A and B are shown apart, each in its own frame.
Chain A
Amino acid sequence: MGLGLRISLLIAIMIYVVLIFVLLRKKSFTLKYSLLWMFMAVVLLIMVAFPKLVEFLAEVIGVASYINAIFMAFIFFILLLVVTLTSIASKQHREIKTLIQNVALLQKQVDELKNNK
């Protein structure tokens, strides 16, 4: 892995990590959901720190160029994140549905109480 590539990857990861921390500090990020993002940064850092490891892994899984192995890792993580997001969205969908139903039922009870007075 060339030095230029390693330095640019390192800078990119740094920006990425700083972004996560800023978002966490602004509380616009729940810690629970940021764990996967952090884990991704750590794995990428390891890849930059030990290029020989990446080259070895690329050879083992039959990828011609180590840069493609890095791309593969990225794509894998992005897939993982999208699946996680879908699962979070589904859970929220369920919760919001229950909320809407309960608001409607409460609203009805409130109206009934008002009319009885």
Chain B
Amino acid sequence: MKVLIIIPAYNESENIERVIADIEQNCPQYDYIVINDCSTDNTAQICEENNYNYLDLCCNLGIGGGVQSGYIYAHRNNYDYAVQIDGDGQHDPQYISQMIEILEKENADMAVGSRFITKEGFQSSGMRRFGINFLSTLIRMVCGANVKDVTSGFRVANRKYIEFFSKEYADDYPEPEAIVAVTLHGGKVVEAPVVMREREGGVSSISPFKSIYYMIKVSLAILLYRITYKGGKK
């Protein structure tokens, strides 16, 4: 079983070494690839010096385009599963094997790592949880997928959806939309319990100021995806 861990990194020089060390220590059986999305700090230099397996994007594509290059890499190199984890150390790679197990057991196409199942670890602020609940309800209404932690960037996709994402993946704030895309295309999305940590260094890509924009953009994207989706056509 070939598994690739995709780590999008934009200005993650404070975290990237810890994230990779964590992976090398806890899941040495998996391959990984760091996607340096044209960081303005020395993320690329760190990758080069430590001889990490990494991709260097020459222009900033944002999280969607960055992660998508990881899926293209996974597709071209014939991986069975691609795991997405954040470059800031929020996601514990120890959970990856459990996520893959659940995905296989449930015969699903994508597993989302959810912090709201066991309700342990970092739970995010009240306002954010309210927003996440709203999006979760919206997604359930639009496509029937029952996912609580819809914004979680910790997820596993199987071979079929590696190929799908390598062709089609939303540009910014792609996580909730990807759940809708997979479900509408006949895929099955399940949730796997994980414990998340609070980010240790650097800044989150979503500042409180952007939260409103985030909610409007993502809600619209989900609705538009549903409205413009051509059923049956691949």
Interface residues, chain A, with chain B CB atoms under 8 Å away = 96-97, 100-101, 103-105, 107-108
Contacts and interface: CB of A to CB of B under 8 A. Distances in A.
Contacts of B58: 100, 103-104
Interface of B: 54-59, 61, 65, 68-69, 72-73, 76, 171
Contacts, number: 32
B68 to A, nearest CB: 7
Contacts of A105: 55, 69, 72-73, 76
Contact of A104 (B55, B76, B171): B55
Contacts of A107: 55-56
Contacts of A100: 57-59, 61, 65
Contacts of B73: 105
A87 to B, nearest CB: 14
Nearest to B169: A97
A94 to B, nearest CB: 9
A101 B56 contact: no
Contacts of B76: 105
Nearest to A101: B69
12 contacts: A96-B59, A97-B65, A97-B68, A100-B58, A101-B57, A101-B61, A101-B68, A104-B56, A104-B58, A105-B55, A105-B72, A105-B73
